[in-house]
Structure 1
């Protein structure tokens, strides 16, 4: 499966790109925002494309063309305002779904946030604009024609992964290393038990592959 990673220069995105690049099962194309990031990836032998989620659906479709799947790991970042959250995490995500449908990249994996599907869980959250964006981007994905999986990780850590997680429809907020999130995103690509569904993801005691099969 050829996979476009949107947000390939992010902390999770970089790990997903490396995992796919090293994979015997998949190939990768990394979508980044500028030429410097593009050149860095090309120097590593990784196919890359410059794209902007604030651009048109047609421009994003050009980046996806020829791929079978999309993994969306992009985000406006914690230092931007609600306006960028709206433009990237919501509108940019929806445009990428439209673009994927347009070019026939039917498999779509979304990185969301734990509890994003339950309004009451973030009613008083200090990051409410982000949660609103994720909520409605996820809803748009569910309503699309794409074969989607929505992964909703808990608090993200930069410590080494354990390869063991808890995956379920509704979990109490906890944390998880970014490395384990990245491995889960790659694992769900071909795990049929995750098709057309979303789930929360935190650290746990079950190997990733087993956790996905027993959702």
Structure 2
């Protein structure tokens, strides 16, 4: 199962909680009930980093929802992988990324995130791994294999 939902940029605080956190929790439970053990979650880069005191409320709630959803998935009994993309774009995919536990913030196309999801689903060593991902120079499959090693 792949959880890739997001509450969108509408400024609705409650929607961030219901989609980004509760949607993930319900998807994890749904996977369990359906006997699905493999779960890939799309999160967001930097959600474990502390937020400045003056962080706008909608952004704070979004980050907290993604962070809490990731923590709940890590605590589950599922074979999870968490991908934390940088700023998403609608640009065409390049097939090249930078993937790792700690990468500099950057942009990434939705197409390249989708390619990364497909690659981690085929990589057993990607289970119980969490990575940030942005556009880069390494072919997707190579980046996933290297990060999984």
Report the TM-score when normalising by structure 1: 0.64
Asked if the contact 1:193/1:212 (under 8 Å) is kept, the reply is: no
Does residue 145 of structure 1 match 2:77?
yes
Paired position in structure 2 for 1:110: 41
Equivalent residue for 1:119, pick from 39, 43, 49:
49
Mapped to 2, the partners of 1:165 and 1:144 lie a distance apart of: 28
> Which of the pair has more CA radius of gyration?
1
After superposition, residues 130-141 of structure 1 pair within 5 angstroms as 130-141=62-73
Mapped to 2, the partners of 1:87 and 1:157 lie a distance apart of: 24
Q: Secondary structure at the match of 1:138?
A: helix
Q: Which runs of 5+ in 1 are unaligned?
A: 1-69
| 1:193 CA drift (Å) | 2.3
Report the TM-score when normalising by structure 2: 0.92
Paired position in structure 2 for 1:73: 4
Mapped to 1, the partners of 2:102 and 2:23 lie a distance apart of: 26
- Hey, which bits of structure 1, 4+ residues long, moved more than 6 A? none
Paired position in structure 2 for 1:202: 134
Mapped to 1, the partners of 2:137 and 2:108 lie a distance apart of: 12
After superposition, residues 8-27 of structure 1 pair within 5 angstroms as none
Bigger mean CA deviation after superposition, 85-94 or 141-150: 85-94
Q: Which runs of 5+ in 2 are unaligned?
A: none
Q: RMSD over aligned Cα, in angstroms?
A: 1.2
Mapped to 1, the partners of 2:7 and 2:88 lie a distance apart of: 16
Equivalenced residues, count: 144
Deviations 1:102-145 (A, max 9, x none): 221000000000012x232x445441211100000000000000
